[in-house]
Amino acid sequence: MPDFEPVLLARVNKPDSTSLESYRADGGYAALKKALGMAPADVVAAVKDSVLRGRGGAGFPAGLKWTFLPKDHSGPIYLCVNADESEPGTFNNRILMEEDPHQLIEGIAIACHAIRSNTAYIYLRYEYGRSYRVLEAAIKECYAAGLLGKNILGAGFNLDVYLHRGAAAYICGEETGLIESLEGKRAWPRIKPPFPAIEGLFRKPTIVNNVETLCCVTHIINRGAAWFKSIGVPPDPANPRDLGSFGPKLYCISGHVNKPGCVELPLGVTARQLIEEHGGGVWKGRRAKAVVPGGISMGFLTADELDTPLDFNGPLKAGCLGLGTAAVVVVDDQTSMVDVLYNCCRFMSHESCGQCTPCREGTKWMTRILERIRAGHGKLEDLDTLLEVAGSMGIIPGTTICGLSDGAAWPVKNAINKFRAEFEDYITTGRRAVTPAQELMAAAH
Amino acid sequence: MPTAFVNNQEIELKEGERLNCIQAAQRIGFEIPHYCWHPALSVVASCRMCLVEVGERKPDGTVVMQPKLVPGCQTPVKEGTVVVADSPKVKAAQQATLEYLLLNHPLDCPTCDQAGECGLQDYSYKYGRGYSRLQEPKNIKPDKDHIGDQITLFTDRCIMCTRCVRFTREYSGTSELQVVARGSDEEIDVFPGRPCNNLLAGNVVDLCPVGALCSKDFLYKQRVWWLKEARSVCPNCSTGCSIQVEQNDDRVYRLKPRTNPMSQGHFMCDEGRFGWKYIHVENRLTFPVRRKNGQIRTRDWDDVIPSLQKALAKAAARAPEKCAAIFSPWMTCEEAYMLASFLRSLSPKFRLALGPVRVTGQDDTYPKDFYGRPLEPVRFTIHAEKCPNHRGVSMVLEHFGAAATMGDVLAQAEAGLEAVYAVGGDPQGWLDEAQAAALAKAQLTVVQDILPSPLSEQADYVLTGGSFAERDGTFVNYKGLAQEIHRAIRSPDGARPDGRILWELSGRRGLYSVAAIRKEMAEKVPAFSALAQGVLGEFGVLLNEHGAPEPSVVAAAK
Ligand SMILES: Cc1cc2nc3c(=O)[nH]c(=O)nc-3n(C[C@H](O)[C@H](O)[C@H](O)COP(=O)(O)O)c2cc1C
Ligand code: SF4
Ligand code: SF4
Ligand code: SF4
Ligand code: FES
């Protein structure tokens, strides 16, 4: 795809990319103007036609979600912009907010018009200080220019946007945890139903969308659903549930690569292409042992699975939980999977909100087993215990209140199933594996 | 009628009935294990103990099951719902959840107050795997004695069901209990300087399914399997909470609320919960007394009863309009009825009056907000009227056409009374020195009570009665609900249940039978006609103004 031209990141390296003036000079807020000239239902239809799938991790079609709002609702409807971006390896929202805040605000305004909301909350990860300052300035500019507030662009549409900083917890990114947190409570995800579209923030109908999802909306209005669907991958006929993976996507590349960063590509690029063509290859001349396809909660691809296309369907076929946030983390062949997995488990047990028994206890238990293995006291049965715990924590579809539990179970399932020989070797010899797992596997056969 | 299925058994649902899977299974006597769910609290579906398989039976008879396990507490049962709660998949999930809950549990059952009535013990026994695969040391959390004046927390036993937290948010409204920290480091705690001392606080101990929240009053006093229970009614205010009195060897150890949809619901207040200690005080009145010229002549029932019978009959014959009795709102209906009919049999002119009805402050309603201001809708009321049977005793007195008050009797006492028969029973005292002196001027002074009073020091006859835990009978609460109290313990030494005293005094033959009196009373007193069956059942019988049961409420409670 050499001729793909970035859309979402198009303005990123321009000088003064964050100012309203430069955004307008590049044609900014034309989409809003166009949308305000359309009936809200037509905006929803356009987004629905584009099959824009949520970029926050679950891949739920945005337009479809918007249609779940009650019809003829007379009270307030809210939009919550999920900018809590905390999935390890993920930093694309940050770039969008720091470099091109007006693209997001325009998307927010269009979405609010579509869902008939007059209030949007941006729930921002606390650590994103620069995003906070940039967004704050951009929102101010918008109010001054009549792009937010009352009677926007003279079209009779009112919208207030509030920027809210979270207090730094992964669980605040789960949409109902986010809503609870916004309401000033502990971010304990809610049981569903009711889903937020029926009863969300302050018990009113609410749509939660990711930053990148909303940025895409701007371009869909500008260029049309057909344009959006001309990018990416059509539905896999072998998977009747696959809706296709259309549009551009921001991929994050980090870990053991020469050139970590964030690139915009059509959905469907393979992990290998990302590493080789965009990440500058694995560092220090080493090889990749494992690759996280979309944030650690999605699990691992092995070196043999690097040609997996990173669209909404590809990682599933390789036994991963999904595309997640499309944040690729590369693990080189000198790194122990035991250490990698320990790190994943430690994170999840630290971030579990603690409501559900399996997640609260299971994440901690797995962490402690791995701690013991790393301390040289592992037993081979531990691997079965880990798999069993992961199995009861993460049965898809999940048996816990939110998806964190599944996301905590998946790296364990993948790591032990795909790298079992390395774990066994570690336990029996006490050696930190510095040999590529593939060779160990071959030796075991 | 809508039909649903639990473990292949059909259950009928009433129109508009909203049941979850746990409640639907209860219909066929099947228990779906659960911790966080409680019928009086909001649903959080977090413990994941109640996972079941759920599906739908289509009109054509085919059944489509959902692929995943769902929490039974959160899943409504409707027409055609199919619940499977005993499949291998469900059992595996139950085992897994229990193993998680027990991972860091100290298993200190031998020293734990909850042992014997513990949700963790019971479910582990029924659904658990029997051993733990945890090889790491357990996560020990510090005990918290500061939770409340009456409550202590054994933090490491807590399973984080949050019932206690929800109770203080939703029921008392006072929100003292909180979850602090996150994930497996979570603990229950209070804010510094804001202990959980609201008047409903004791309920969190009952709500706690394990031995985490314990009652300081009960702690280490008894193993629960030694306790025997008697159904009763709290006598401390006119709410009339349904309770059970738990005793061993004639000692009461605790009161617990008994769920009664027609009465207070699921809970009770701490005034009532801890308000029974007077039962076992040192100075309880024990043996009866007959005095002559201020000197104790006998302390023997076999002498006291016949001699009092004679003395009362004599007084009533001599000057019936100068004979008066003071009834106590602590009496049961049967006691009041027996005394009233006995005295009126001596003379229809015998004056019957209602004694003092203690009222303290205002009705105290819950929930309250953080600052103690009452909120609507009210979910619990502690009534200002601090006695159990004002309404029932008044109904008896009304039947006998008695409208006098204690003030009337006192006024008459100044003018000189032939005989006065005063019943006490309020453990906080019910008359002062001056009133006692006035009553004692009567030619014949009789007092029936459980604790010493200025009157018991000088009365000619002191009849030593029983506390509520020692008696059988009926209390009628503020809204007309008639409930039975049952004897839990024997009275100390020579004290006797008041019903038995009155049975013998009124010359009835054979052994005192509360059911016989209740039937007689229902026959003679129209206001009590609804009690004609003699037994009032677990929830009691609601009497309307005419004494008939209120059918709508009875049906709703079923
Ligand atoms: C544990 C957990 C953490 C999550 N964190 C985020 C997050 O940081 N940002 C985000 O956009 N979505 C996050 N999600 C997904 C959200 O719940 C939700 O699906 C998403 O915000 C919806 O927006 P979208 O449809 O535009 O993707 C998280 C989900 C889970 C279960
Ligand atoms: S799955 Fe984990 S993070 Fe999600 S609600 Fe349950 S305990 Fe909290
Ligand atoms: S203290 Fe008891 S009631 Fe409260 S959360 Fe723990 S186990 Fe549940
Ligand atoms: S509310 Fe009244 S009846 Fe109920 S427990 Fe308290 S004192 Fe007893
Ligand atoms: S009782 Fe259903 S999840 Fe706790």
CATH number at residue B309: 3.40.50.740
Ligand 5: atom nearest CA of B48 is 3
Residues B408 and B302 in one domain: yes
B234 lines ligand 4 (CB under 6 A): yes
A20-230: CATH class? alpha beta
Mean pLDDT for the stretch of residues B344-370: 96
Residue B487 in contact with residue B497, Cβ under 8 Å?
yes
- Nearest-Cα residue of chain A relative to residue B101: A357
Cα separation, B393 vs B343, whole angstroms: 15
Q: How far is B178 from chain A (nearest CA, A)?
A: 10
Q: Is residue B539 part of a domain?
A: no
Cβ atoms of residues B35 and B105 within 8 Å: no
CATH code at A337-444 = 1.20.1440.230
pLDDT score for A415: 98
Domain end, chosen from B86, B108, B126, is at: B86
Task: Tell me, in angstroms, the distance from the centre of ligand 2 to residue B299's CA.
Answer: 69
Please indicate, yes or no, whether residues B357 and B308 belong to a single structural domain of this protein: yes
- The minimum-distance atom of ligand 4 relative to the CA of B268 is 5
* Same domain, yes or no: B142 and B228: yes
- Confidence at residue B420, expressed as pLDDT on a 0 to 100 scale: 97
Please name which ligand lies nearest the alpha carbon of B205: 3
Among protein residues, the one with the nearest Cα to ligand 2's atom 8 is: A353
Instruction: Name the strand (E) or helix (H) holding B476.
Output: strand B473-476
Distance in angstroms (rounded) separating the CA atoms of residues B22 and B19: 8
How remote is the CA of residue B59 from the centroid of ligand 2, in Å? 37
- Which DSSP string corresponds to B411-451? HHHHH--SEEEEE---TT----HHHHHHHHTSSEEEEEESS
Let me know if residue B198 belongs to a domain.
yes
- For residue B201, give its domain range: 135-280
CATH of the domain at B255: 2.20.25.90
The DSSP output letter for B329 is T
Residue B101 distance to chain A (closest CA, Å): 7
Q: Which fold has domain A247-332?
A: Ubiquitin-like (UB roll) (3.10.20)
Say yes or no: A363 contacts chain B, CB-CB below 8 A: yes
CB contact under 8 A, B160 and A371: no
What gap in Å lies between CA A244 and CA A238, rounded to an integer?
A: 12
Q: Based on the domain organization, do B355 and B256 belong to the same domain? A: no
Q: How far is the CA of A276 from the centre of ligand 1 (A)?
A: 29
Which residues lie below 8 Å from residue A72, measured CB to CB, with a gap of 6+?
A: none
Which of B150, B199, B239, B276 to mutate for ligand 4's pocket (most ligand atoms within 8 Å of CB)?
A: B239
Q: Which of B94, B92, B104 is nearest to B160 (CA)?
A: B104
**Ligand 1 pocket by C-beta < 6 Å: which residues?**
A 54-58, 60, 62, 82, 84-87, 170-171, 173-175, 208-210, 213, 402-404
Contact B471, B328 (CB under 8 A): no
How many A from CA of B267 to the centre of ligand 2?
30
Reported ipTM: the value is: 0.91
Contacts of A351 in chain B (CB under 8 A): 182-183
Nearest residue of chain B to residue A364 (CA atoms): B184
pLDDT, position A154? 95
Coil, strand or helix at B119: helix
| Ligand 5 geometric centre to CA of A406 (Å) | 19
Q: Are residues B242 and B318 in the same domain?
A: no
Contact A191/B at CB under 8 A: yes
Residues B300 and B262 in one domain: no
Name residue A290's amino acid: A
Q: Which chain B residues are closer than 8 Å to A364 by Cβ?
A: 139, 183-184
Residues 6+ apart with CB under 8 A from A20: A28, A102, A138, A141, A142, A145, A147
Report how far apart the first and last C-alpha atoms of chain B are (Å, whole number): 17
- Say if residue B146 is in the same domain as residue B231: yes
Residue of chain B with shortest Cα separation from A381: B133
Nearest to A107 by CA among A135, A126, A130: A135
The per-residue DSSP string of B357-424 comes to --B-SS-EEE-B-TTS-B-SSP-EEE-SB--S-HHHHHHHHHHTT--EEHHHHHHHHHH--SEEEEE-
Q: From the CB of A360, is ligand 2 less than 6 Å away?
A: yes
* A399 Cβ under 8 Å from any chain B Cβ: yes
Tell me, in angstroms, the distance from the centre of ligand 5 to residue B69's CA.
12
Mutation target among A176, A195, A361, A363 for the B interface, most CBs of B within 10 A? A361
Chain-chain contact of B182 with A361 (C-beta, under 8 angstroms): no
pTM reported for the whole predicted model: 0.93
B63: helix, coil or strand? strand
Domain count, chain B: 3
Residue B339 is assigned to a structural domain of this protein: yes
Average pLDDT, integer, range B288-315: 95
Considering only the beta carbons, identify the residue of A191, A392, A395 that sits closest to B45: A191
Counting ligands in written order, which one lies closest to the CA of residue A55? 1
Residue linked to tokens 């302050």 = A202
Sign of CA dihedral A231, A237, A239, A242: positive
Q: What is the pLDDT along chain A (445 residues), one digit of tens a residue?
A: 457 899 999 999 899 999 999 999 999 999 999 999 999 999 999 999 999 999 999 999 999 999 999 998 989 999 999 999 999 999 999 999 999 999 999 999 999 999 999 999 999 999 999 999 999 999 999 999 999 999 999 999 999 999 999 988 999 999 999 999 999 999 999 999 999 999 999 999 999 999 999 999 999 999 999 999 999 999 999 999 999 999 999 999 999 999 999 999 999 999 999 999 999 999 999 999 999 999 999 999 999 999 999 999 999 999 999 999 999 999 999 999 999 999 999 999 999 999 999 999 999 999 999 999 999 999 999 999 999 999 998 766 668 999 999 999 999 999 999 999 999 999 999 776 554 444 444 544 4
CB atoms under 10 Å from CB of B63, counted, come to 12
pLDDT at residue B257 greater than cutoff 90:
yes
Ligand 5 atom having least distance to the Cα of B46: 3
The β-bridge relationship of strands B187-190 and B177-180 is antiparallel
**Same-domain check for residues B254 and B166:** yes
Cβ B44–A191 below 8 Å, yes or no?
yes
Cβ of A207 below 6 Å from ligand 2: no
Task: Select from B74, B139, B159 the Cβ nearest to the Cβ of A191.
Answer: B74
Three-state SS for B299? Answer: coil
**Radius of gyration of chain A measured on its C-alpha atoms:** 22
Task: Give the one of A169, A351, A361 whose C-beta lies nearest to B103's C-beta.
Answer: A361
| B296 and B429 fall within a common domain | yes
Ligand 5 atom closest to Cα of residue B47: 4
- What pLDDT, on the 0 to 100 scale, is given for residue B553? 41
The structural domains of chain A, with segments of one domain joined by +, span 20-230, 247-332, 337-444
Q: Does A176 touch chain B (CB under 8 A)?
A: no
| pLDDT value at B554 more than 70 | no
In a domain, B171, yes or no: yes
CB contact under 8 A, B96 and A392: yes
Give a yes or no: residue B34 inside a domain: yes
> Residue range B497-507: average pLDDT?
97
pLDDT at B1: 77
User: Is B521 inside any structural domain?
Assistant: no
Which of B43, B47, B74 lies at the smallest CB-CB distance from A357?
B47
**CA–CA distance from B537 to each of B261, B267, B542 (Å)?**
13, 19, 11
Which among A342, A356, A404 is the top mutation candidate for probing chain B, defined by the most B β-carbons within 10 Å of its own β-carbon?
A356
Distance from CA of A354 to the nearest CA of B (A): 4
Does one domain contain both B274 and B310? no
Nearest residue to A175 (alpha-carbon basis) of A309, A79, A68 = A79
Banded pLDDT at B138 (limits 50, 70, 90): confident
Q: How many CB atoms lie within 10 A of CB B28?
A: 14
B97:A357 CB<8 A: yes
User: What is the pLDDT at residue B555?
Assistant: 39
User: With an 8 Å Cβ cutoff, are A358 and B100 in contact?
Assistant: yes
Q: Report the helix count and the strand count for chain B, using DSSP H and E.
A: 14, 28
Instruction: For residue A362, list chain B residues with Cβ-Cβ distance below 8 A.
Output: 100
Residues of B near A (CB-CB distance < 8 A)?
Answer: 43-49, 51, 67-71, 74, 92-93, 96-97, 100-101, 103-104, 133-136, 139, 159-160, 162, 179, 182-186
Pair (B269, B297) in one structural domain? no
Q: Which residue in chain B is spatially nearest to A385 when comparing CA positions?
A: B133
**Contact B47/A371, CB-based, under 8 Å?**
no
The verdict on the CB of residue B50 being under 6 Å from ligand 5 is yes
* Residue B503 within any structural domain of the chain: yes
Mark yes or no for CB contact B183/A354 under 8 Å.
yes
CA distance B514 to chain A (A): 50
The helix, strand and coil proportions of chain A, stated in percent and rounded to the nearest 5, come to: 45, 15, 40
Distance to chain B for A407, nearest Cα, Å: 15
Residues 6+ apart with CB under 8 A from B75: B20, B21, B52, B54, B83
The pLDDT value recorded for residue A437 is 44
d(CA B341, CA B325): 12
Residues B306 and B246 in one domain: no
Nearest to B69 by CA among A357, A399, A194: A399
